[in-house]
Amino acid sequence: MISSSAAAPAVAIVVNSSTPLWYITRATGLVALVLLTASMALGLLASVRYASRGWPRFVTAGLHRNASVLACAFTCVHIITTLADSFVPIRLQDVVIPFISAYRPVWLGLGAIAFDLMLALTVTSLIRTRLSYRIWRLVHWAAYLCWPIAVLHGLGTGSDTPVRWVLLLTLGCVAVVAGLLGWRLACGWPSHPAARLMGALALLLALIAGGAWLTAGPLHPGWARRAGTPPSLLGGPSAAAPGSGGAR
């Protein structure tokens, strides 16, 4: 059922697509984010060599692998449903080539980058035994890029960002990864104290900058237009309260 604002311009009703595809895209996007966070968290846990009586190291290794594969699967569904949903002007090339889409180019583009990185990470990990360890490890460092880009993509493109539980979920994911990153910086590389300090500072700065951007950006009214939603998909001044299905 599509409600349009054609009849009464003064009535601020936003345009949205209520096909199941749109809901599935949003849902799978969130689940993929949670799984990607789990994968990052488990990867960081492996790097600090965490182990306990009831949690041997192979559990971390195995769960990391499973979470990564599931994150990939959910990301693929997320992408396919977005493409299949004809309401939004997103084409196949927008999936892998960043910043060329008609819909929120910058923020969708970040999703394309994150997906490309995920592909690199997954493929190299699947053929690990045929690659040199050094190359695999080099590519795997891209995980540190992939995850934050995915988070920014979700916050910038996602129409559910202002929704309280979605926001809390995303912030929760950030907290988990930031905390583990802090742990890793505290434990690792004992012979490079300067680099660790710089890393910790960079982490802190990133969190502050991220928080500032979030407040001034997606959480500030009018984000949809500023983010680059095509005008045809925008309604008039949005009267939609958070939780009503989302302004586009």
Partner 1 sequence: MSHRLRVNPITCQAHGVCAELFPERITMDPWGYPLIAPQPVPDELLGHARRAVAACPTLALLLDRLD
Q: Between 49 and 192, whose beta carbon lies closer to partner 1?
A: 49
* Cα radius of gyration (the chain): 20
For partner 1, the closer of residues 130 and 232 by Cβ is 130
Smallest separation, CB 239 to partner 1 (Å): 53
- Could you write out the DSSP letters of every residue in 84-134? H-TTS---HHHHHSTT--SSSHHHHHHHHHHHHHHHHHHHHHHTGGGS-HH
Query: Shortest Cβ distance from residue 136 to partner 1 (Å)?
Result: 8
Residue 17 vs 39, nearer CB to partner 1:
39
Q: Does 57 bind partner 1 (CB under 8 A)?
A: yes
**Least spacing, CB of residue 238 vs partner 1, in Å:** 49
The DSSP output letter for 55 is B
Total residues at the site for partner 1 (CB under 8 A)? 11
Question: CA-based angle 22:97:39, to the nearest 5?
Answer: 65
Site for partner 1 in 61-80 (CB under 8 A): 61-62
Binder of partner 1 out of 15, 24, 31, 46 (CB under 8 A): 46
* 119-148: contacts with partner 1 (CB under 8 A): 128-129, 133
Which SS3 state, helix, strand or coil, does residue 52 take? Answer: strand
- Contact (CB, 8 A) for 188 and 198: no
Q: How far is the CB of 196 from partner 1 (least distance, A)?
A: 18
58 binds partner 1 (CB under 8 A): yes
Q: Which residues pair with 55 in a beta bridge?
A: 52
Nearest Cα residue to 82 out of 39, 22, 41, 136: 22
Positions touching partner 1 (CB under 8 A) are: 46, 49, 51, 56-58, 61-62, 128-129, 133
